[in-house]
Each structure stands twice: as C-alpha cells, then as structure tokens.
Amino acid sequence: MEILKNLWDSCFLNQSAPPDFKSDDWKTVGFQGRDPTTDLRGGGVVSLYAMAYFYSNYKIKADEILAKDEEYLLFSTVGANLSFALINFFHF
C-alpha cells in the first residue's frame, strides 16, 4: 500500500490524499478498476515499482500519456505487461 501511496503522491504532487485501497479514484492514475492490485497480477510489485519510478522521474511524459488515454487504461496495462515481459525475459 505504501508504494501505491507514493505513486499517488507522485501523480498529484501531494495535492490530495490517496484513496482507500479500493476506489474508483485509482482509475485516474491508470488502473483499470477499483482495486489496483488486480492490474498487477502478471508483473506483481515490480510493475508497481516501475510505474512509480516512471511517474516520479518522467512526470511530464507520464502526464502526457494519461492525458491522451481517455479511459486511463494504457498507463497501468502497459506498465504491468512490460514488467511481466522483462521478468520472464530475465527469469526473475
């Protein structure tokens, strides 16, 4: 949950408190549903770290991605799938 909180803070620069563990608000940062952990099945916590790193280090680009993605699905889906592919490639 701490990593999710850090992701939320990176996205909104501490302007608002992170939502409860299950909330529709998670969709605004790229998750598909109310429970962000369901998007992380393949890549697990590695994909969450990757998304948090990307957003905190490339905020302008991440904001552009989320702004273009009307349903906010691209960011989390691609992040989780890319992490899953890398995990499989490197046999972690």
How do residues 40-68 score in pLDDT, each as one tens digit? 776 778 878 888 888 888 888 877 777 76
- Report the amino acid identity of residue 87: I
Range of the domain at 7: 2-90
Answer whether residue 70 shows pLDDT above 70: no
DSSP 27: G
Answer whether residue 73 shows pLDDT above 60: no
User: How far, in Å, CA of 83 to CA of 86, rounded?
Assistant: 5
Q: Stretch 72-91: mean pLDDT, rounded? A: 75
Percent of the chain clearing pLDDT 70 (strictly above):
86
pLDDT band at 74 (very low <50, low <70, confident <90, very high): low
User: What's the token pair of residue 1?
Assistant: 């949950």
